[in-house]
Amino acid sequence: MTHDFYDFGLIGLGVMGRNFILNVADNNFKALGYDLDQEKVDALIQEGGNTERVNATTDLKSFTEGLSHPRKIMLLVPAGKIVDQVIENLLPHLDEGDIIIDGGNSFFTDTDRRESYLQEKGINFFGSGVSGGAKGARRGPSIMPGGNREAYQHVKPIFEAVSAKYKGEPCVAYLGPKSAGNYVKMVHNGIEYAMMQLTSEIYDILKKGAKLTNEELHETFSTWNSGRLQSFLVEITAEIFDQKDELTDAHLVDMILDKAKQKGTGKWTSQNAMDLGIPIPTIDMAVSMREISALKSERLAAEKLYPKKDIPALDKAKLIDQAEQALYFAFIMAYAQGLHQLADASEEYGYDLDLATIAKIWRAGCIIRAGLLADISEAFATEPKLPNLILSSAFVPKIQESISAARELAITAINHGIPLPGLSNSLSYFDAYTSGRLPLNLIQAQRDHFGSHTYERIDREGIFHTDWKEK
């Protein structure tokens, strides 16, 4: 260890942490890492080239003493109790005004609790979502910080330097107080779940219905990525279809078991949307499909009981065209639902979120980055109080021109027993949201009939109850 002071400290030198701190050093900030694992410390020092800009230690006292004031310490450790443990270990070594940044996927209420606890001790705490995976951490992620606005000014130069850039603009911005950053990252991940599910469904119908080979799927998704579907997920999907398996002669995608795992952020998004009363059915279904995928043995047993008929080869060109339009439509619905939830949460939790800014910092670096986000950011900048993206005058023609194909593709899938629950829920969400009258009047009548829960009327103000006739 040298006696020079470092601009930035990072605890947790796994792949994400190591890549992030090297990114900081590459941008001419002196960075100091800490980890209990000597091998991880040595790996960082070696990869950093033993330069003065990056160093690491296993000694917490040396780590904190080596940082300039106010200390700026980022945690990239697993969410949960370990975050609290690290904070408690740090506290004896910190001074008033120091800054702790949680860069993990912590649940937003945990962030609120930690911020309140540390505020009493004079320590600033940030929940800061980081998206882009290990590669993003190294090359430039999208960063979503929330906490004390004044304290953020100490972190801002570093975050703006290391973040991804979209046409020169850094993909990071102060989002709001308390847990605003972690909340936005949570919903980002919910949208991510939806977009991944939708992409997998389109793959399924093209493979089963149009009988596309992996080579054709690679070509199709590559072509789409050059158009209005340009996005990180479409890009890597094209690459996946081109990857051969090292253990067999097959393509790798065909050798991967169809059981998708999850770390909880999608589930949290769905649960909190329920608490807020905000409908996000495409995201909900994406979570449910991962749960259904885990029932592999049951699905295999059910398939024998309800065998599906062979699907005849459908019109390949027509199906590809419909699939592109359907995926475009459904991506819009996924963004619309997530941003609707953010708007409501902003009011409920006092975040004062700027949806145009959020869409802007998602344009590069993060997993849900897509060409669509430039249009989404502009839509909310033009109409800051827009309650739902579906209502944007800029998006009405985009939706109108793609929805017919989405309907036709869903019908084809239903007729041939191909599950497209994400797309189907996107269509149902759109149809319900754009219906001036829904059949929920009957539900209110039922509730009043069996439970005297009362109802409202269309012709006069007030709350009413009827003594229903029983036969």
**Alpha carbon separation from 68 to 28, 87, 97, 117, 148 (Å, rounded):** 15, 18, 12, 23, 19
d(Cα 281, Cα 334) in Å, to the nearest integer?
9
| Cβ atoms of residues 161 and 216 within 8 Å | no
Phi, psi angle pair for 398, to nearest 5° = -65, -40
**Alpha carbon separation from 110 to 107, 113, 114, 253 (Å, rounded):** 5, 5, 6, 37
65 is catalytic: no
User: How do beta strands 54-57 and 31-34 pair?
Assistant: parallel
- Beta-carbon contacts of 454 under 8 Å, excluding residues fewer than 6 positions away, are 448, 463, 464, 465
Closest CA to 182 of 342, 24, 71: 342
d(Cα 316, Cα 212) in Å, to the nearest integer?
8
CA angle 24, 25, 28 (to 5 degrees): 100
Q: Which two tokens stand for residue 168?
A: 């020169």
192 is catalytic: yes
Edge to edge, the sheet with strand 54-57 lists 54-57, 31-34, 8-11, 72-75, 99-102, 124-131, 142-146
Task: Say how far residue 168 (Cα) sits from the centre of its chain.
Answer: 23
Q: Which two tokens stand for residue 195?
A: 């977009």
List the catalytic residue out of 72, 185, 207, 360. 185
d(Cα 11, Cα 63) in Å, to the nearest integer?
9
List the catalytic residue out of 72, 115, 178, 192. 192
Residue numbers annotated as active site: 185, 192
